[in-house]
Amino acid sequence: MKFGIREKTNLLLGLFVASLIMSNVLGSKITHFAIPGYISVPLNAIFFPIVVLLKMFLQSIGGRGIALNFFSIIHVSVGILTVPLMFLITDIVEEVHGKKKVGEFIIVGVSAMILLIIITSIAVVLPAAERSVDNNAYSAVFKVTIRMTIASILAFVIAQFHDMWSFDFWKKKTKGKFLWLRNNLSTIVSQLIDSTIFMFVAFYKSAPMWDAVFIISLIVPYWIFKILFALLDTPFVYLGVWWLRGKKNAKA
């Protein structure tokens, strides 16, 4: 079978949907580990101005602070690992096909999320047989609330449509040049939108401690990681555009 641009685009669509599903299914686990000094020290030095500014902002609103050696110890949801991949894929697709194709990706993604929510909700309420896995453990993993469902869909749709619009806006402003610039500008802002909408819709006032200040103090660390991922994926945007186009190279 010839693996042309159509087949490559379909492959990216499959990876996009798979990443979206994984971010929702796996996101409840929080990981915690130390990063070796030869990696954390350079990252802490590079991001020091950003961390200081965000630390000052959190302190000004009465939120909990963040450590200046931010990248020495990692506390993050494993779901964050797939979110940058989704934005990477849509940026590659929009660079080659335009924003109409990205809109189709978003519609397919929303449809997949709705189907996932419906099927998992049915699976949770169905009675478990004696030879089945522990039903309480199963429900703890797959049960989703209506509020978190709405938060997840809203955050995904608004952030992805913003990313699509922003990427197109900067592409026109730069006359098709500086792919690295529009990739990072669109992704960094869209990632902030995604985290903010989800956290506020899903958790605001769900418990006494979940006020606006507390939620913002949770959003900021996640956003720092997403900025890092956005910067790291820049070479892969160029590689992906070159791969999807075939013989044509990505514009600088």
Q: What is the pLDDT of residues 104-154, one digit of tens each?
A: 999 999 999 999 888 888 888 888 888 888 888 888 777 776 788 888 899
pTM score: 0.87
Largest Cα–Cα distance of the chain, in whole Å?
64
pLDDT attached to residue 252: 39
pLDDT digits (tens, 9 = 90+) for 191-227: 999 999 998 998 888 778 888 998 998 888 889 988 9
Query: Domain map of the chain by residue range?
Result: 5-245
Burial 182-193 (b: 16+ CB within 10 A, else e): bbbbbbbebbbb
User: For 27-36, 46-55, 100-109, 183-192, which range has the lowest pLDDT when averaged over its residues?
Assistant: 27-36
The number of beta carbons lying within 10 Å of the beta carbon of residue 54 is: 20
